[in-house]
Amino acid sequence: IFGASSGLGEHLSARLQSLGAKVHGASRTTGCDIGITNDVSKTLEAASENGKIDAVINFSGVLHIGKLAEMPQDELDQVVQTNYVGALNIARLSHKYLKHSRGQLLLVSSSSYFRGRKDYAAYSSSKAAVVNLTQALAEEWAPDNIRVNCIVPRRANTPMRRAAFPLEDSKLLIHPNDVSLGVLELLKTSTSGMISHVS
């Protein structure tokens, strides 16, 4: 699981381990920046040392809000590198492991992908790209017996969301457990190309 040290990824990691799964977690806090190819490669190689990799899940994400013309370059780079380039890196480098196991790549988008709106141009479009990537790879990797699916959580109660919207009523947010349950259902499915919404 990429992005396993906080938020939805941390919750899923704990849930899977409680069910007896072997989980290899990675995040920036463990030295893995998914925008850097070598970091992703080393993480997957380390995970494979414990046996075949049945699923690769990416929960890493960055949310910066603001008008695109006024957004600092470093913030724009973080959104694109993590949310989109990171997903590409994970997909490309996990292919050989998932082909061997006939496993699944599970990407995570956001309900923001539905429609771009002001102050979300970079974030929303990066999450729309993840949905498109899922659909494309589901077809591309079908001959290799790799399933590719995407989960789309509605606004969830995570540290990233609370940092971006500190005054938001937490009662309006879904619980991370709802997302974990959605992921568990996707991990069990034999279908590929699913864009599964959690609300």
Q: Confirm if 52 and 97 have CB atoms less than 8 A apart.
A: yes
pLDDT value for 177:
74
For the chain, the average pLDDT equals: 90
Residue 165 vs residue 82, higher pLDDT: 82
Q: Could you give the CA distance from residue 108 to residue 186 in angstroms, rounded to a whole number?
A: 12
Residues with Cβ within 8 Å of residue 149, at least 6 apart in sequence: 104, 105, 106, 107, 134, 138, 186, 189, 191, 192, 193, 194, 195, 196
pLDDT value for 162:
55
pLDDT value for 115:
78
**Residue 65 pLDDT more than 90?**
no
Instruction: For the chain, give the percent of residues with pLDDT over 70.
Output: 90
* CB atoms near residue 123 (< 10 Å): 23
Least confident stretch, 19-28, 98-107, 116-125: 116-125
Structure confidence by residue, pLDDT tens digits, 122-168: 999 999 999 999 999 999 999 999 999 999 987 655 566 556 666 66
The model's pTM:
0.89
Q: State the average pLDDT over residues 179-183.
A: 88
